[in-house]
Amino acid sequence: GDSVTQMEGPVTLSEEAFLTINCTYTATGYPSLFWYVQYPGEGLQLLLKATKADDKGSNKGFEATYRKETTSFHLEKGSVQVSDSAVYFCALRRSNDYKLSFGAGTTVTVRA
Amino acid sequence: DGGITQSPKYLFRKEGQNVTLSCEQNLNHDAMYWYRQDPGQGLRLIYYSQIVNDFQKGDIAEGYSVSREKKESFPLTVTSAQKNPTAFYLCASSIEVTGETDTQYFGPGTRLTVL
Does B52 contact chain A (CB < 8 Å)? no
Helix or strand holding residue A87 (H, E):
strand A86-93
Mean pLDDT (chain B) is 91
Task: Inspect the interface and report whether the beta carbons of B40 and A105 lie closer than 8 Å.
Answer: yes
Mean pLDDT (chain A) is 93
Task: Inspect the interface and report whether the beta carbons of B97 and A98 lie closer than 8 Å.
Answer: yes
Looking at beta carbons, which residues of chain A come within 8 Å of B31?
98
Please state which of the ranges A73-87, B37-51, B73-87 shows the lowest mean pLDDT.
B37-51
Strands (E), chain B: 4-7, 10-13, 19-25, 31-37, 43-51, 54-57, 64-66, 76-78, 87-94, 105-106, 110-114
pLDDT band at B98 (very low <50, low <70, confident <90, very high): low
